Amino acid sequence: MQDIVKLDGEYIAHTYACREVVLVKGKGCYAMDENGRTYLDLTSGIGVNSLGYCDAKWAQAVCEQVQMLQHTSNLYSTAPAALLAKELCTRTGQHKVFFANSGAEANEGAMKTARKYSFTKYGAGRAKILSLTNSFHGRTFGALSATGQEVFHQYFNPFLPDVASVKAGDFEALEAAATPDVCAVMLELIQGEGGVVALDKEYVQKIAALCAKKDILLIVDEVQTGVGRTGKFLCCEHYNLHPDIVTLAKGLGGGLPIGAFLLGGSCADVLQPGDHGSTFGGNPIACTGAFAVVKRLDTAFLESVTQKGNALRDALLELPQIAHVSGLGLMRGAALVAPYDAKLTVKALQKAGVLLLTAKDKLRFLPPLTISLSEIKEGVKALKSTLEEM
């Protein structure tokens, strides 16, 4: 058998920490490595495999599409993209959808839309986009410019002009930064990579009101929080928020690469032929996978995400090594009491057969939305014994 870890180290660019496990297949919440060992996966590929590994209906729909039509370019329409776009608009109250291939790309498109909206209406000089500190919006230059964490900026200067981060949680700071040259504010309602930190509801409401008053577009990055992750289709619903633009990616395709930005009434027709595009965007296979995910998320399913998320939170809070739990639904962060270390815990837990993430200094839980209560129990039990042995 080929030594995959060795090949990986030799030929794949070293942008990720050394990978020790080679996964070959999965079913539901469990992944299997090349030695036949199974792992309970509480990461879902960083919030991507929303229906778990190889969900039967999802896999069948995708397989049928692969054998029918895999790609057309955007010169032609296809049913999967059109049906998915309609479904996304119906579910969110947004008006139009652009399909991209990743979260970063969705955010790039949202930022471009905001600049064109403003340019068309007010002319040049109103191109500034504000984001928040501790945010994460992706790795391309526009999205990275908006990412409010210096650690991601090292080595890559200069960034996009007129993109700046203001202190998260500080409304006065944002109000002061909302000068007449600002066209958009972009934020995550729960900062995922930033440590599963939820923004305060009142703070977000104030931002929305300020944006409405000044005709500044509000872009909500739901790449991690969207598509059922928090127990609502959009996390915006927890905040009674109707942003001008919402971006989605991660969990949307159930494991296939797809991103999207959803345009509200204010900017539904800003982008016109030639303004934006993507060779792969709206790919029929990715859209078919996403349609299967979105269709699964009915009221009962979303309610179960809320309940399972609360059960996870309650079970975690019973562990004396856990100080507090943040997040909503099945997007949770757990802060460890000193001297426990999140990265070491995740490493030890992997040895015990459970896959988990970190976010900053917290443990991060992003299990498949289809996880069962008993699988949650199993995961927390393994975490308990791992922590006890550390």
Ligand X SMILES: *Cc1c(COP(=O)(O)O)cnc(C)c1O
Contacting ligand X (CB under 6 A), which of 28, 80, 109, 192?
192
Task: Report strand pairing: 182-187 vs 190-191.
Answer: unpaired
Check 128, 250, 308, 362 and give the catalytic one. 250
Least Å from the CB of residue 194 to ligand X? 9
Interface positions, 218-247, toward ligand X (CB under 6 A) = 221, 223-224
By CB under 6 A, is residue 370 in contact with ligand X? Answer: no
Closer residue to ligand X (CB): 55 or 188: 188
Contacting ligand X (CB under 6 A), which of 45, 80, 109, 138?
138
Number of residues this chain uses to bind ligand X (CB under 6 A):
15
By CB under 6 A, is residue 137 in contact with ligand X? Answer: yes
Whether 152 is catalytic:
no
- Beta-bridge partner residues of 98: 261
Which amino acid is located at 59 in the chain? A
Whether 221 is catalytic:
yes
If phi > 0 it is left, if psi is from -120 to 50 it is alpha, else beta; for residue 283 that is beta
The HSE-up count of residue 363 (CA atoms within 13 Å, CB side) is 35
Closer residue to ligand X (CB): 55 or 221: 221
Task: Confirm if 347 and 389 have CB atoms less than 8 A apart.
Answer: no
By CB under 6 A, is residue 193 in contact with ligand X? Answer: yes
- Looking at 63-71, 73-81, 84-92, 102-110, which segment touches ligand X (CB under 6 A)? 102-110
Interface positions, 12-31, toward ligand X (CB under 6 A) = none
Check 55, 99, 128, 221 and give the catalytic one. 221
CA–CA distances in Å: residue 301 to residues 42, 83, 222, 233, 304: 18, 21, 19, 10, 5
By CB under 6 A, is residue 148 in contact with ligand X? Answer: no
Which residues, in sequence order, are CB contacts of 278 under 8 Å at separation 6+? 74, 99, 100, 101, 105
Interface positions, 172-191, toward ligand X (CB under 6 A) = 188
CA distance 96 to 266: 11
By CB under 6 A, is residue 103 in contact with ligand X? Answer: yes
**The length of the chain, given as a count of residues:** 390
Least Å from the CB of residue 329 to ligand X? 15
Check 98, 99, 136, 261 and give the catalytic one. 136
Q: How many CB atoms lie within 10 A of CB 218?
A: 24
| Cis before 367 (ω within 30) | no
Contacting ligand X (CB under 6 A), which of 183, 189, 246, 249?
249
CA–CA distances in Å: residue 131 to residues 158, 220, 226: 17, 10, 18
Whether 250 is catalytic:
yes
CA–CA distances in Å: residue 33 to residues 10, 320, 372: 20, 32, 22
Residue numbers annotated as active site: 136, 221, 250
Residues at the contact surface with ligand X, assessed by CB under 6 A: 102-104, 107, 136-138, 188, 192-193, 221, 223-224, 249-250
